[in-house]
Chains A and B, each alone.
Chain A
Amino acid sequence: MRIVRGMLALGGAALMGLILATPNGRSGLGSGVAIGAGTITLQGSGATFPAPLYQKWFTEYNKAHPDIEINYQALGSGAGIKQFQQNLVDFGASDAAMTDEEIAAVKQGVVLLPMTAGAIVLSYNLLNGPSELKLSREAYVGIFLGKITQWDDPAIAKSNPGVRLPSLKIQPVVRSDGSGTTFVFTSHLSAVSDAWKNGPGAGKSVNFPAAVAGKGNAGVTALIKETPGAIGYVEYGYAMQTKIPMVALQNKSGSYVKADLTSGKDALASVQLPANLRAWITDPTGAQSYPIVTYTWLLCYKKYSDPDKAAAIKSVVQYGLTQGQSFSVDLGYIPLPPNVVDAVSKALAQIS
Chain B
Amino acid sequence: MTPGEGGTARDIFHLGGQPGEPAAMPAEAEISRPPSGFELGADRVFRRCTLTVAWLTVLLVFWVVVSIGRQAMPSIRSYGLSFLAGTAWDANRAQFGILPAIVGTLYSSILGLAIGTAFGLAIAIFLSEGFLSSGLDRLLGYMRLSEYSWLHSLPGRVENLLRITVELLAAIPSVVYGLWGIFVVIPFIRPPAAWLNSHLGWIPFFGTNLSGPGLLPASIVLAIMVLPTISAISRDALVAVPPKLREAAFGIGATRWEAILGIFVPTAATGIFGAIILGFGRALGETMALAMLAGNANVISWSLFSPANTLAALLANHFPEADKIEVGALMYASLVLLLITLVVNIVGTVILQRADAGLKGLR
Contacts and interface: CB of A to CB of B under 8 A. Distances in A.
B136 interface: no
A212 B296 contact: yes
B147 interface: no
A303 interface: no
Interface string B68-97: 100100000000000000001111110100
Contacts of B352: 2, 5
A73 B191 CA distance: 41
Looking at B179, B211, B295, the one whose CB has the most chain A CB atoms below 10 A away is B211
B213 interface: yes
A173 B296 CA distance: 10
A222 interface: yes
A25 B320 contact: yes
A10 B61 contact: yes
Contacts of B260: none
A21 B297 contact: no
Contacts of A14: 57, 60-61, 64
B323 A78 contact: yes
Interface string A189-224: 000000000001111111100011111000100110
A75 interface: yes
A10 B345 contact: yes
A154 interface: no
Nearest to B71: A21
Interface stretch (A49-57, A225-233, A255-263, A336-344): A225-233
B32 to A, nearest CB: 34
Interface residues of A, number: 50
A16 interface: yes
B178 to A, nearest CB: 9
Nearest to B275: A5
Interface string A1-20: 01001111111111011101
A176 B67 CA distance: 26
A77 interface: yes
Nearest to B341: A13
Interface in B220-274: 274
B101 interface: no
21 contacts: A9-B348, A11-B61, A13-B281, A13-B341, A16-B337, A21-B64, A21-B71, A24-B319, A169-B211, A176-B291, A176-B317, A178-B91, A178-B321, A205-B321, A207-B92, A211-B297, A215-B291, A215-B316, A223-B212, A226-B183, A230-B211
Given A16-B337, A222-B179, 9 more contacts: A2-B353, A14-B57, A16-B341, A169-B209, A171-B212, A177-B318, A179-B321, A212-B297, A213-B295
